[in-house]
Structure 1
Amino acid sequence: MDYNLINGGIPPQIGNLTNLSGLSLSINKISGAIPPSLSHLKSLVDLNLGQNFLTMELPTDIGNLSNIASLLLNNNNLSGEIPPSFQKLEQLEQLDLENNLFAGGLPNPIGEATGMSILFLSGEIPDSLGGLKNLKSLSLSHNKLFGRIPLSFGGLQSLKSFNLSYNSLFGEIPYTLVYLFELSYLDLSNNKLEGRIPCGPQMDTMNDPNSYANNNGLCGMQIKVSCEMVPSKPKLKRERPRKKELGDMVFTGNGSD
């Protein structure tokens, strides 16, 4: 029932459809909250409520959807934090929460959802995402992410598509990304990244300048910008230790240094 003009709320009686395996109501005018009774649909494999006008928080017991493989809730007005029960969604392969009003990040640790293939979420990036070794596509674009890209992302060795664009990430691109040998699409544009882009067999092929556009001082062969041309940060002047500090130091060796 996609692409219709269905409006109003999702009735709580939907929880009575206990044998339902698929429900797609995307691109309609459905409003209101997702009823808690939807968490009773333990046979549900695919749920698509994207591009509607849903509001409020996710049901606390959404983790009871133990067979869910595809959960698409993008482009709504859902808010609040992701419930801790989310960690139970171990069969999840596709998750889209893009363009909502969620606060915070994924529950950390993220659980055992190692089959997850697509992820959209706002908030700080947890290191535990690097443990999803079967993850094929990771998109955290157009959010309010800040901080550094975790070194643990080098563990996403099945990753083919990687998008962190339009956030406020800063610091250097982690060298561990050279271990992403399956990577074929990369977009780190519109952040505050700087320093040398890591070099490696696959990272060297990620040479589209648009993938790195609008950052602060990135350099590397991928974008044909010499790192010698990028001004380095001024080093702090090292002051000589005072006499009292010299007296407190413990010297080792024969003093020939």
Structure 2
Amino acid sequence: MDHNNVSGTIPQEMGKLKSLSQLFLHENKLSGNIPSMGNLSNLVKLYLGVNELPSSITEELGMLRSLGLFGLSRNHLNGSIPRKLDGLALLYLSSNKLSGSIPAKSECLGLSISFSCGILVSLGILNILGRLTSLNILLLDDNMLSGDFSLGILILYGMQSLSLAANEMYYSIPSQLRQCLNLSMNKFNEDTPL
């Protein structure tokens, strides 16, 4: 039911469809709280991006073991990122008002993560992401990340694409990362090797 201009709230009954494996409701005009989905043990793909959902992400969504795609970009979400996000291959939470960092125990995350246009302020996120050896794409542009990122990101050499544009970062950039980086609109000084 994506791209259909559906408005209103997501029915609470949606959380009772135990055999549901995919839920795509993106690019509608949905509002209200995300219903309880802790019982959807077969849910593999959940994409609710580009709506008007004002709530926070509940911890139970992070506990869905079968979930591989988790997309809530471009909503009005606030609060913290769930403490547990194991097994995800694709995580899209950009353009929200989320705070905190990716939990240290979420080491099964892979492939692609997007937190663009958010309010992440801690470079500690990079220390955690450095442990995600299967991470290929990381988008952290237009946040409020500041400081020297060279230490926390040294392990991410297998990445295909890393975007940290429009932040407040400075200092050195490891030479191994320069070919996959987008670092435009930061505050690097003229001595910083790009």
What's the TM-score once normalised by structure 2's chain length?
0.88
Of 89, 112, 120, the residue aligned with 1:117 is: 112
Q: Secondary structure at the match of 1:61?
A: helix
Aligned to 1:77: 76
Superposed displacement of residue 110, structure 1: 4.2
RMSD: 1.9
Aligned pair count reads: 189
Q: Is residue 172 of structure 1 aligned with residue 178 of structure 2?
A: no
| Change beyond 3 A, Cα 1:19–1:153 | same
| Change beyond 3 A, Cα 1:150–1:9 | farther
Q: Is residue 190 of structure 1 aligned with residue 190 of structure 2?
A: no
Could you list the runs of 5+ residues in structure 1 that have no partner in the other structure?
A: 195-216, 223-257
Q: Secondary structure at the match of 1:118?
A: strand
In 2, the alpha carbon distance for the partners of 1:218 and 1:138 equals 26
Q: Which has the larger radius of gyration?
A: 1
Superposed displacement of residue 92, structure 1: 0.6
| Change beyond 3 A, Cα 1:147–1:54 | same
What's the TM-score once normalised by structure 1's chain length?
0.68
Superposed displacement of residue 34, structure 1: 1.1
| Change beyond 3 A, Cα 1:45–1:184 | farther
Which amino acid letter does the alignment assign opposite residue 60 of structure 1?
E
Could you list the runs of 5+ residues in structure 2 that have no partner in the other structure?
A: none
In 2, the alpha carbon distance for the partners of 1:149 and 1:29 equals 37
Aligned to 1:97: 93
In 2, the alpha carbon distance for the partners of 1:91 and 1:48 equals 16
In 2, the alpha carbon distance for the partners of 1:11 and 1:150 equals 45
Percent same amino acid at aligned positions? Answer: 36
Higher relative contact order (CA 8 A, sep 6+): 2
| Change beyond 3 A, Cα 1:2–1:165 | same
| Change beyond 3 A, Cα 1:188–1:19 | same
Alpha carbons 1:42, 1:64 under 8 Å: kept: no
| Change beyond 3 A, Cα 1:47–1:184 | farther
Superposed displacement of residue 59, structure 1: 1.2
Which amino acid letter does the alignment assign opposite residue 100 of structure 1?
N
Q: Secondary structure at the match of 1:80?
A: strand
In 1, the alpha carbon distance for the partners of 2:105 and 2:170 equals 23
Structure whose residues are more often helix by fraction: 1
Alpha carbons 1:138, 1:162 under 8 Å: kept: yes
| Change beyond 3 A, Cα 1:147–1:219 | closer
Q: How does 1:30-109 map to 2 (within 5 A)?
A: 30-35=30-35, 37-84=36-83, 87=84, 89-107=85-103, 109=104
Superposed displacement of residue 16, structure 1: 0.9
Task: List structure 1 runs of 4+ shifted beyond 3 angstroms.
Answer: none
